[in-house]
Structure 1
Amino acid sequence: MSSSETYEKFLALHTREGGLVMPNAWDGLSAQLLAASGFEAIATSSYALAASLGRQDGRHQVTRDEHLAHAGLLARVTGLPVNGDFEDGYGETPEDVAATVNAAIEQGLAGIGIEDTSGDPDRPIRDFDEAVARVRAATAAGKGRIVVTGRTDNYLQGRPDLDDTIRRLTAFAEVGADVVYAPYPSDLDSLRAIITAVAPTPVNVLISPADAVLTVAELRAVGVKRISVGPALYAHAMGAVEEAVSALTRGDLATATTGMDFGRMDTLLGRGKP
């Protein structure tokens, strides 16, 4: 399938009635489990990828090439559209972001997310003009070939400024972003305001607004077109591992060694080729 066909197929999932739920995988087995469960598209999670490598997310500790190889693997083994959660797009300049987008297309990705983060804990959010320039470069490079998501992390970085969030997301849409989002807006009213302001550009929601976890149906009812879960599934899996480790420290081998059957894992892994 050509990159333009991949783009059209993935974008159509966002614009149809109800949109899509796009869970985030972190390795080949989790990706195959999601594919076998009927999900039509999946995403990487920069947090889960960094954690799997023993590193921190959002600090440029994972390289572009590492993330590209990871995302490309998920695309190849599942055959599904894969959206790359590529932090700030990697690199200091808009031209660097464009190079990342072109590399993602070469890896066969269907989508890519570009955040307004900086990786600098003292200045975690880039200035407005810089953030817009980076999304503009991404959309110019990927136009018609990869779905570009423009994202502001205002709320994640302790900046609950709805007006600035809408200003940024509107600007991202105006320079060509196919999808926009801000993780964890304060409440449902803020989410509604964002959706209204950027319409008809599809809006992604990371699980829910900050004040309540809603159902898929409730999020769709207010106009959300894509729902992702970030590192939540990875955290759930690690929670189960922690419980098993706790059992092991108590000498409880039976509890510590339960989980997915090896036959089931082999069946899932046999679905595709690395």
Structure 2
Amino acid sequence: MNKKIKSLVLAAVMGLSLTTVAVVPATVEAASAGAAETLIGGAVAYAYVSTAFNKMDNSKEGQEQSLARAKKQTGYLEDSAAQARVQRIMKTLEASPSVKRSYVVYANPSDDFNAFATVGRVMSVNKGALDLLDDDELAYVMAHEISHGEHKDIVNGLKKQVGLSTAVSLAAGGGGNAAILSNIAGNYMENQVFTMGQEKAADELGFKILSESPYNVGAAAASMAVLRNKYGDLYREGLNQVFSPNNHPKTSSRV
């Protein structure tokens, strides 16, 4: 870093004028310069990671890679009627004026009641959800997952999974960047957790998307009632939530 740039960085980091910098002791200036360079290096590294994940989330190539990765992890339900069903509902929901991005969806063979969205605007719906929900109810569950994509909750959460040392290594041109990022994305798909605020926002936008579609808006509450009947409120009270905080609203409240 040349002296002029270093002086500007020191001024910004230390909150001092350029004339003040000149009389700072050499040891303090050196330490401050090191801290400034560390901050700049970290910012550059995270900017690189952010750009890479944004490309993964927004590009056709990134979507295809994410779809292949998701299918490999979850399996693919060999049921043409089920696949056609989720494709049909997705196409209908994407016609909503509130949906600005394009998505791909497939059904997987898990018997759990669930659906998820992942990076690359990819969604998967479990067979367990298909078995328990009618089309109107399933449309709301899928609209909720679309909302996470519209809010970019997945890609923002993915960025937070990258530690500083990994980000710096990638930005410095370490080998296998694509494989490292893909591995991080795959691990996050299995362990992603949204905040309470993100879940509430997805519920709200999901309802709006449903209301702009031909589906019955009453199915939003009905789908949550099915979830509550199967799993209860999925909400920890008292000290339990201190040790394991809730990330979803209480299911009864969602109904």
TM range (shorter): under 0.3
In proportion to residue count, which structure has more strand?
Answer: 1
TM-score (norm 2): 0.24
TM-score, normalised to structure 1, is: 0.22
